[in-house]
A and B are shown apart, each in its own frame.
Chain A
Amino acid sequence: MAVSQNKLVQWIDHRLPVFTYLDHELHEYPTPKNLNYWWNFGSLAGAMLMIMIATGIFLAMQYDPNAGDAFQSVERIMREVNYGWLIRYIHMNGASFFFIVVYIHLFRGLYYGSYKAPRELLWMLGVVIILLMMATAFMGYVLPWGQMSFWGATVITNLFSAIPGVGKAIVTWLWGGFAVGNPTLNRFFALHYLLPFVILGVVILHILALHQHGSNNPLGIDRKGPQDSVPFHPYYTYKDMFGLSVFLIVFAIVVFYFPNLLAEPQNYIPANPMQTPPEIVPDWYLLPFYAILRSIPNKLLGVCALFGAIGILFIVPWLDTSKVRSAYFRPVYKWVFWLLVIDAFVLGDVGAHRPEGWWIVIGRLGTFYYFFHFIVLMPVIGWFERPLPLPPSIAEAVLKKHGGGALADAAATRAKP
């Protein structure tokens, strides 16, 4: 079946079926019709990736990755380049909003069991994306070469010295010198420019994996027929555009009115290798992992806990033993899920404070709970929980919500005099 009557379109499509592919993905690809707004966050993440790449490329045109000039080159962008302040603030705050969106997207997946078969690989690709995002964000933060850029780089690269034997050699190799310096900055710039395109590639794989079996939905039950779904276009294209517009309002308010709300004032001081700042903290989106790292009093085990905290996400599809996907039908897990959310916020707060006093205790409890949730609670609750009965189909569930459906019709007929 021809995609279009246009001869040019047909000529191209016969040789490279982009138009057939797009037509299928937009008009035929079935999407569950009951997706709620938590399903907007995937497309928001894609939008943020595009925004970050676009602003990043134009910043890279003006930025100088030499340690003697980097700070000044960023200030030059802010003060001298046409709309440089806007591009910089969008990129700076865009990183934060990218993580907000991706974290919500991740928690959505945890709540609705989107990681369960046959979507395990889809989930794992997502964890790879988050790992790449963290590496990209960490290196990006070093580029302005402020105090926190330099000292954050020093602390995090020093982590690798915990590796027995080769640790010190690896750190020297990362630095390209005796300490974080110009060679480090230059390679971080090269990698920071590269990784977003690697992320783009993994995102494409992520979407391909998604389209193999289609989206999950709030009920967690499979589509059974065309009555359960709608074509992606125009239903979800318009819903996604509306969601993007709402999101952009919040983003715009931060960029234009509170551009330094999430920023660390110390990073507006040029890097000084001879003066350590009173506190060394990464940007907020890395704080929970920072808290986990610091809560273990042993250097090597702390590093293992840090990477383990991300690594454990890979095996979530096998840690969760529930027969049912969506927490909507899981009376116990639906509350336990929120404990993890609270734990994430608590760990974030711990990461922002100096490790002293009560913060140490809370940090250790929070770290313990994090691993306990995944390693113990997820499998155990799955085994012992009695899930609520699942509806027969998505369409049935939607009808019931609106007071229709076979059972309700029968009841209404009986009720008539």
Chain B
Amino acid sequence: MADSAHSHTAGAHAPAGSRRDFLVIAGNALLGVGAACTVWPLITSMNPARDVLAAGAPIDVDLSSLQPGQQVLVIWRSRPIFIVHRTPAELTKLQASADTSLLRDPNSEVLQQPPYATNWHRSIKPDYLVLVGICTHLGCIPEFTPQPGGSLGPAWPGGYFCPCHGSRYDLSGRVFQGVPAPYNLPVPPHHFLNDTTVRIGENPPNSTFDFDSIAQI
């Protein structure tokens, strides 16, 4: 009995039956579960904290001083949000087929906007457009260039021009063909509390839309 240790040199141990293997397997399994449960809080601590999420709460913007043809920029969830008060002339142009035929996604088929903004004016009220001002190419902030023509050429109907790589969007944020940007500018959840106040970051009542489900911020 004294030399039972000899058989252990290469790590082979006498098979002691299924009960020992069960305990060993069960022990290893529990250790694995324990390790996973220990790692989880560490990983999830990197997700946005409560105060960061709270800072992403909806914001209310007063539109009473926003003149037709003007754009105001606000910040929501650390992102630039364009709010444009469009003129009737601009709205008419947006529906002209001569211009819409130049667009990549004129009917907003790609999910870049809530269902209540899936229309030609990509908003709830045609007068006011709300966009996330981040170019869907590589993330620069496009410039507001509502005047037709000018340095962008006589065919330019008015819209947005991104200075980084030349992407262009119309005054509904729809992207043109032949530019690097692949998608229309995103429309965030929003709704009107009254005629002069828009709440950015919240869907209208009875409407659900998850902003994280869009194709490209």
Contacts and interface: CB of A to CB of B under 8 A. Distances in A.
A33 interface: yes
A231 B45 contact: no
Interface stretch (A74-82, A193-201, A261-269): A74-82
Contacts of B42: 54-55, 58, 83, 87
A233 interface: yes
Given A33-B5, A227-B3, A87 B45 contact: yes
A281 to B, nearest CB: 31
Contacts of A395: 2, 5
Contacts of B1: 404
B46 interface: yes
Interface string A337-377: 00000000000000000000000000000000000000000
B88 interface: no
A375 B11 CA distance: 45
A55 B47 CA distance: 15
Given A55-B42, A80-B50, 7 more contacts: A76-B51, A83-B41, A84-B45, A231-B9, A234-B13, A234-B24, A238-B27
Nearest to B53: A80
B11 A80 contact: no
A279 interface: no
Contacts of B3: 227
A405 B2 CA distance: 8
A61 interface: yes
Nearest to B30: A245
Interface string B1-44: 11101101111010000000000100100010000000001101
A234 B47 CA distance: 39
**Which range holds the interface residue count of chain A?**
20 to 34
B45 A82 contact: yes
Interface string B38-80: 0001101111011110000000000000000000000000000
Contacts of A26: 11
Nearest to A404: B1
A84 B46 CA distance: 10
Contacts of B8: 230-231
A238 B105 CA distance: 62
A36 B197 CA distance: 74
Interface in A46-95: 54-55, 58, 61-62, 76, 79-84, 86-87
A80 B49 contact: yes
Given A395-B5, A399-B2, A80 B51 contact: yes
A33 B3 CA distance: 13
Interface of A: 26-28, 33, 54-55, 58, 61-62, 76, 79-84, 86-87, 226-231, 233-234, 238, 241, 395, 399, 404-405
20 contacts: A27-B10, A27-B11, A58-B42, A58-B46, A61-B45, A61-B46, A80-B51, A80-B52, A81-B50, A82-B49, A82-B50, A83-B41, A83-B42, A226-B9, A228-B5, A231-B8, A231-B9, A234-B11, A395-B5, A399-B2
A55 B45 CA distance: 11
Interface of B: 1-3, 5-6, 8-11, 13, 24, 27, 31, 41-42, 44-47, 49-52
A412 to B, nearest CB: 13
A231 B44 CA distance: 39
B177 to A, nearest CB: 43
B45 A404 contact: no
A137 to B, nearest CB: 21
B5 A226 contact: yes
A81 B27 contact: no
Nearest to B43: A58
A34 to B, nearest CB: 11
Contacts of B24: 234, 238
A84 B45 CA distance: 6
A395 B41 CA distance: 46
A54 B41 CA distance: 11
B27 to A, nearest CB: 7
B2 A82 contact: no
A129 B51 CA distance: 39
A33 B6 CA distance: 12
Contacts of A82: 41, 44-45, 47, 49-50
Contacts of A231: 8-9, 11
Given A80-B51, A81-B49, A82-B45, A241 B27 contact: yes
Contacts of B5: 33, 226-230, 395
Contacts of B27: 238, 241
* Top 10 A-B pairs, shortest CB-CB distance: A83-B41, A27-B11, A80-B49, A80-B51, A81-B49, A80-B50, A82-B44, A58-B42, A227-B5, A83-B45
